[in-house]
């Protein structure tokens, strides 16, 4: 997930509460119940409880039982509601533009968020960059939010 959480944590913290979801499936690991599937509001047709969200490793899969929206449509709708979770990250092609580097250097943001933006600009994925920077899990969302306003000029979505 772009927010740096894995699928389960992103669902529990960001997506499921906002989409009025409820857990429908959980698995037991070491005596602990870990939820991995939820029924939630569909961001495309707005039907409550019709969107099935399934955590799978680092990602979150979605399917609407009602409108059966295509994956690209569903992901675009989710990216619109949760830009920090499903938003596409900028992909660099043909190196880093000097103007982008200057814009990043001058953009007001916390130092750690700037380091994250630099690593992303260099083509690193958000979770990998956060790992490299040693950002603890509870601080990830804050660091990402700090650089959220910075959009690389000319970035092409994935
Ligand atoms: Zn998230
Ligand atoms: Zn739907």
Both tokens of 94, joined, read 């043909």
Q: How far is the CA of 13 from the centre of ligand 1 (A)?
A: 7
Rounded to whole angstroms, the Cα distance separating 126 from 72 reads: 21
Rounded to whole angstroms, the Cα distance separating 123 from 136 reads: 21
Q: How far is the CA of 154 from the centre of ligand 1 (A)?
A: 25
Among all bound ligands, the one having the nearest atom to the CA of 144 is: 1
* Edge-to-edge strands, sheet with 22-29: 22-29, 32-40, 51-56, 59-64
Q: How far is the CA of 136 from the centre of ligand 2 (A)?
A: 35
Among all bound ligands, the one having the nearest atom to the CA of 83 is: 1
Among all bound ligands, the one having the nearest atom to the CA of 59 is: 1
pLDDT at 154: 41
Task: Tell me the residues surrounding ligand 1 (ion) with CB < 5 Å.
Answer: 1, 3, 10, 14, 85
pLDDT at 114: 93
pLDDT in tens, the chain (158 residues): 888 889 999 999 999 999 999 999 999 988 889 999 999 999 999 999 999 999 998 889 999 999 999 988 999 899 999 988 987 655 555 677 888 888 889 888 899 999 999 998 888 888 889 999 999 989 998 998 888 666 544 444 43
Q: How far is the CA of 6 from the centre of ligand 1 (A)?
A: 8
């Amino acid at each position: 997930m772009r927010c740096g959480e894995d699928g389960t944590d992103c669902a529990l913290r960001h997506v499921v509460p906002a989409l009025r979801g409820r857990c429908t499936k959980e698995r037991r690991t070491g005596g602990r119940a870990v939820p991995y599937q939820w029924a939630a509001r569909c961001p495309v047709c707005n039907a409550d409880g019709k969107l099935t969200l399934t955590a799978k490793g680092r990602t979150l899969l979605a399917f609407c039982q009602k409108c059966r929206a295509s994956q690209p449509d569903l992901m675009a709708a989710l990216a619109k509601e949760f830009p920090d979770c499903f938003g596409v990250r900028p992909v660099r092609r043909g190196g880093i533009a000097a103007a982008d580097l200057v814009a990043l250097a001058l953009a007001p943001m916390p130092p750690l968020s700037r380091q994250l933006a630099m690593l992303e600009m260099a083509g690193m994925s958000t979770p990998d960059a956060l790992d490299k920077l040693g950002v603890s899990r509870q601080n990830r969302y804050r660091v990402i939010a700090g650089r959220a306003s910075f959009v690389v000029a000319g970035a092409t979505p994935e």
